[in-house]
Amino acid sequence: MYPFNFAAGSENRASLFAALRVPGFDDRDSELIVGFDVRGAIPSDAGRLRYKILKAELSVFVENDLAFSYDPTPDPLASSYASTDPEYVADSDPSKPIEVWPVAFRGGFDTQSWQENSPFCNCNPITNAEGVRLAYPALLDNFQQPTDMSRQVREKLPGSPITVGRLFNSSNNELIPGALVPQGTRVRFNLLAGNSNNYVYLQNAMNKGVLLLSVATLEPTSGGPGGGTGGVTYPRIYTKENPTAQALTLAPQLEMTVAYTCAADFDGDDLVDDADFQIFAAAYNELLDARADLNLDGVTDDADFSNFAVAYDELVCPN
């Protein structure tokens, strides 16, 4: 998703960069959307509460060599503000982390209808590419309603990605923070590190049979496509179209462990017992937490406890 990508879905590498506070462009200007069809691996359309996500890890691989440095931690949003802004704070470590977000849509698209070669916008991106992208990195509320975070910096929107990537070499050793990142480096995202709304997003994706994720960064553009002079200092990621990625298994990868079980079995062991009650209680304490939302009204409250108690009395998941 980049306004000047006229070969969407067939590029053999994807640039990740920001156009901070540049009118006509989104802050998160060039992002990679990765999609995985899981319908061959798990039954779909069973209702999202049947899917208990025990592991969810996305890996993408760096295509460019020693172009940017490793930032393993989230940065304050205000570190991307103009340095003249009274709220500006300095970035305490080099570079910007690589982020992963849920994906939401405008223009009538949804998870099933949006394709990798779908257009950037229903518009002319040459004249205005700001706030119009059809698939965007989203902040989700407890009703799964999305906010487009593409212009998060200029709009000063609070909110965080699901998580930021940690970088590993081929021996599975984590890179040193601040180090320049070699070609082939694995960017690993623990998708369970996000909040409960992001967990529900994963459950909904299993229910639909398709998981889409946006990989993005607030690292400003430099050199090459995207403008500026000098060399590229932002990440580029191997796509599945890249011949090297195909030969060396460097295309984006998703590894998940999902228990397909009854709604009240929150830990996926086919029992509804005290361990599940503890998970229920944690969600209940948060209220605006849909992990244990057994009646699907967006909150976990007393009505859900009534449902849970029935299942708890049965102990074993019904077949």
Which residues contact Ca ion by CB under 5 A?
71, 73, 75, 91, 93, 265, 267, 269, 271, 276, 293, 295, 297, 304
Instruction: Please give the Cα distance from 92 to 75 (Å, whole number).
Output: 8
> Closest CB to Ca ion among 93 and 116?
93
Strand duo 135-140 + 98-105: pairing:
antiparallel
CB of 29 to Ca ion, least distance (A): 18
Tokens matching residue 31: 């992002």
CB of 266 to Ca ion, least distance (A): 6
> Closest CB to Ca ion among 92 and 122?
92
> Closest CB to Ca ion among 37 and 87?
87
> Closest CB to Ca ion among 114 and 284?
284
Instruction: Please give the Cα distance from 200 to 263 (Å, whole number).
Output: 13
Tokens matching residue 183: 């070609």
> Closest CB to Ca ion among 114 and 280?
280
Of how many residues is the chain composed? 319
Tokens matching residue 230: 């000098």
CB of 233 to Ca ion, least distance (A): 13
> Closest CB to Ca ion among 207 and 239?
207
Amino acid at 174: E
Tokens matching residue 98: 């690589």
CB of 306 to Ca ion, least distance (A): 10
Beta strands in 8-93 (DSSP E): 13-15, 32-37, 51-61
CB of 91 to Ca ion, least distance (A): 4
Q: Which residues contact 273 (CB under 8 A, 6 or more apart)?
A: 312, 315
> Closest CB to Ca ion among 241 and 286?
286
3 state DSSP class of 104: strand
Tokens matching residue 290: 């849909």
Instruction: Please give the Cα distance from 97 to 102 (Å, whole number).
Output: 16
CB of 235 to Ca ion, least distance (A): 13
CB of 308 to Ca ion, least distance (A): 10
CB hemisphere CA count around 267 (13 angstroms): 13
